Each structure stands twice: as structure tokens, then as C-alpha cells.
Structure 1
Amino acid sequence: MTIGGGLAVYFVIWWTVLFVTLPFGVRSQAESGSVETGTDPGAPVLPGLAKKAVATTVIAAIVFGIVWYIWTQFDI
């Protein structure tokens, strides 16, 4: 696996994991009971994007490590 190929694979894994982690721990305005005027009731109160970006990076690194190991061991 070349460096460019590895970066491309990591990029795809990172975005996939991000979309998996986005819904965790999010409460809508309707669930919290404080709907701001002019916003959708389903909008998140505190999305916690910084924590999710860190968690996504860690999880994606682990998944990439597994992919890299399989790639190098089985000479794909």
C-alpha cells in the first residue's frame, strides 16, 4: 500500500466512521423542551462535534490498522 493509497483508505474510513458516530448522544430541541424560535424542533441542542471528531479519529485509526495489517499479511 502506497502512502497516497493509505491516506485515501484512511479518509474513506474516517468519513464512514463519522457518519456512524454522529447520532450518538444527541438530544433534539423537542426532547429537551427548549425549542428556539425559528429553528426546527429536531435540531440538536449540543451536537458535541469536537468529541465526535476525536472519537472518529481514534476509531478510524484502529480500523485502518486492521485493514493495513490484512493488506500487508495477505499481499492484497
Structure 2
Amino acid sequence: MNLTGGIVLFAIIWFMVFFIMLQIRPHSQADAGKVEPGTPASAPSDVQMKRKVIGTTMIAVVLWSIIASVILSGAVTLRDIDWFGRLGPVEGGN
């Protein structure tokens, strides 16, 4: 894995975790009992975006380090997940 691959892997993990974090404890304006004029009652009342971004980054760093270490160690290779044999035979032996 090169630098670009590592950055792309981190970005994908970060956004996946972020979309999950957005769904944790959402409070709508209807739940809070105060609906701002011109907004739907289902709009969030207190998003706490800074807290969610920091939490997302911390979780993404841990997940990225685990996944990157598995990839870089060679424990799982592309041939391990080639279930349909599309890579062809292994050159030089077994």
C-alpha cells in the first residue's frame, strides 16, 4: 500500500464511521419541543457536530491502523480473496 492508497483507505473509513455517528442519539426539534419557523419538525435540534467529528476521527484512526497493518503485514493478500480464480495460476510453484 502506498501513500495514496493509505489516504484513500482512511477517507473511506472516516466517512463510513461518520455516517454511522450521525445516527447515534439524534434529537429532532419535535423531540425538543421547539420547532424553528420555516424548518420541518424532524430537523435536528442539537447536532453536536464537533463532538461527532472528533469521535469519528478517533475511531477511524484505530480502524485504519488495524486494517493497514493487516494489509502491510501480508496476512491477507489479493490471492486470498480471489474466490473465482480470476488472477490465474500462481507463478513459480504452488
- Could you state the TM-score of these two structures normalised by the residue count of structure 1? 0.93
Matched, 1:45 2:45: yes
Aligned residue identity for 2:49: L
Task: Measure, in 1, the Cα distance between the counterparts of 2:40 and 2:23.
Answer: 17
Identity of aligned residues (%): 32
Is 1:16 matched with 2:16? yes
Tell me the SS of whatever aligns to 1:36: coil
Q: Distance in 2 between matches of 1:2 and 1:66?
A: 16
Structure 1 consecutive aligned stretches of length 4 or more whose deviation exceeds 4 Å: none
Structure 1 unmatched ranges of 5 or more: none
How far apart are residue 18 of structure 1 and its match? 0.3
Q: Quick one: distance in 1 between partners of 2:12 and 2:31?
A: 33
Higher RCO (C-alpha under 8 Å, 6+ residues apart): 1
Residue aligning to 1:64 = 64
- Compare CA radii of gyration and give the structure with the larger one: 2
Structure 2 CA distance for aligned equivalents of residues 8 and 32 of structure 1: 38
Q: Which has the higher helix share?
A: 1
RMSD of equivalent CA atoms: 1.1
> What is the deviation of 1:26?
2.0
Q: What 5-or-longer segments of structure 2 have no aligned partner?
A: 78-94
